Amino acid sequence: MSRLLLCLFLQGALGLNLYDKTDVALVTKTVSDGVNDIVKEQQDKIEHLKNYSFAEFRKQFTRGYEPGQPEFIKRHRIFKKNLQYLIQHNEGPTKTYIMGINKFLDYSEEEFQKLLGYKKVKSIGSASFLEGAIPQWNDTIKAVALPTGHDWRPKLTRSQHWFQDQGACGSCWATAAVACLQGHLEIKHGISDLLSTQSLVSCTPNLHHCGGTGGCQGATAELAFEYIANNGIPADSKWPYMSFTGSNGKCTPSLAKMTHAKIEHHVVLPENKGEPLLQAIYQEGPVVVSVDASTWNFYSGGVFSGCDKNAIINHAVVAEGFGEQAGHKYYLIKNSWGADWGEKGYIRLMRFDNDEEHCGIDNKPEEGTACEGGPKFVRVCGMCGVLYDSTYPRGATFVSKAQGGTFDEELVKKGIPMQEAKSKMMEMLTKPLRR
């Protein structure tokens, strides 16, 4: 089964959602054809876009190029083209999602595409070298009746606010695996800690060069989970992320041995099947999924339906729930581009009842295959190919004491009353963490 995943050079904290400044709430409006999530007073926002100037953009996103410079002229031209695209999208026929201003407004399409990369592969013989080590999903969970919607965020009081900034490192395979594991720890133990993405980037072996050559040059979420099962993972406080510049860093044995959390194994779900993914999300917890994020750059809210059936898979993200609004079913996806992108760091991705309803081909093997003997094309299903490759950890546990659980105790030791200490702890836990 093909299932190995790579994501090259995805930057965190990528977008500033203009609409978030006014904390506008999404409301549901049903039109005659039964589709559409829209934003309250959408016409006012369209007018704002029409009046939004390049000078405002440069100030808002701290652009250093000055009028008259070749870079200024180039970026101004791109800005106007992208702004017109946003206006046309939002004031055109009513859609299930809206787009907003963010950091990418002066990026060309080619520049944005270069930030995305994916190499999901089959090794020689169309079988992964991990094949025998991974339990089948139906050996670990049994199908149950599913509710209309499920959202893990109420139990992810702490971890839902953490967004790792990858910088110039192609480490989304590690970032997604860590975010998923942090969620599983909080679901199981009621508390979580930041785990060391850096340890995975620096130490995860990739002997078969699947998904790249390792570290910032690419690996897979499956490889990350396998490494954690065999070696554990330190806390971020012991080994913080340092690969912003694109350097893998050095695998330091003394740091790698400071194990803070571990898993028993990981599970890979059947390719291009929706039911196992829903069952895993509902019964087990967050799941790492692969997607084509090429058209996500300006997403601002609603149920995203902007991917063609043919999708070039290029990003690893975490599915934390599913639901339905105004007749549109969706997966709740946590992205790694910051809490000020999309719907407070999340995107709702359209979900179909029939797995075959939205299937196509990933037909760029020269961009998407790294191992020898890989296929010339692969079939991908679901909006943005979300059903193609899914994996999650099992048996998540702390090896050392969860550091975040003693915060209130430390405050009490400093003479702060317990009730006040609890309040301060909750304030800390619910404050978005930007790294």
| Per-residue pLDDT tens over the stretch 47-104 | 889 999 999 999 999 999 999 999 999 999 999 999 999 999 988 787 899 899 988 8
pLDDT(121) > 90: no
Highest mean pLDDT among 10-24, 210-224, 249-263, 304-318: 249-263
Residue type, 140: T
Coil, helix or strand at residue 338: coil
What is the model's pLDDT at position 401?
A: 77
pLDDT digits (tens, 9 = 90+) for 372-419: 456 678 899 999 999 998 999 999 999 987 765 333 334 334 455 444
* Percent helix, strand and coil across the chain, each to the nearest 5: 35, 15, 45
Mind telling me the catalytic residues? 172, 315, 335
Position with higher pLDDT, 111 vs 215: 215
What is the model's pLDDT at position 40?
A: 55
The closest alpha carbon to 306, from 387, 388, 383, belongs to 383
What CA–CA distance (Å, rounded) separates 7 from 384? 15
- Cα separations (Å) of 262 from 145, 195, 386, 397, 398? 30, 10, 27, 6, 6
> Average pLDDT for residues 344-350, to the nearest whole number?
95
What is the model's pLDDT at position 314?
A: 82
Per the prediction, the chain carries an average pLDDT of 79
> Average pLDDT for residues 128-156, to the nearest whole number?
75
pLDDT(118) > 50: no
Architecture label for domain 1-400: Alpha-Beta Complex (3.90)
> Average pLDDT for residues 12-35, to the nearest whole number?
36
The closest alpha carbon to 256, from 192, 215, 200, belongs to 200
Q: 103-107, 196-200, 346-350, 355-359: which has the minimum mean pLDDT?
A: 103-107
pLDDT digits (tens, 9 = 90+) for 279-309: 999 999 999 999 999 999 999 999 999 999 9
pLDDT band of 45, cuts 50, 70, 90? confident
DSSP 432: P
Query: Pseudo-torsion of CA 351, 173, 388, 375, nearest 10°?
Result: 160
What is the model's pLDDT at position 87?
A: 92
What is the model's pLDDT at position 336?
A: 85
Judge contact between 124 and 94, C-beta under 8 A.
no
pLDDT band of 8, cuts 50, 70, 90? very low
What CA–CA distance (Å, rounded) separates 26 from 167? 31
> Average pLDDT for residues 187-199, to the nearest whole number?
95
Tokens 């549109």 — which residue?
328
What is the model's pLDDT at position 37?
A: 46
Alpha carbon 354 to chain centroid distance?
A: 24
What is the model's pLDDT at position 165?
A: 76
Position with higher pLDDT, 366 vs 213: 213
What is the model's pLDDT at position 14?
A: 38
pLDDT(24) > 70: no
Tokens 């910032």 — which residue?
216
What is the model's pLDDT at position 428?
A: 40
What CA–CA distance (Å, rounded) separates 392 from 101? 33
pLDDT(119) > 60: no
**In the chain, % of residues over pLDDT 70:** 73
Judge contact between 241 and 435, C-beta under 8 A.
yes
pLDDT(318) > 50: yes
CA angle 323, 325, 331 (to 5 degrees): 35
Dmax of the chain from CA atoms? 65
Beta strands, E only, 220-314: 261-262, 265-268, 287-291, 299-304
What CA–CA distance (Å, rounded) separates 165 from 354? 35
Residue type, 305: S
pLDDT(26) > 80: no
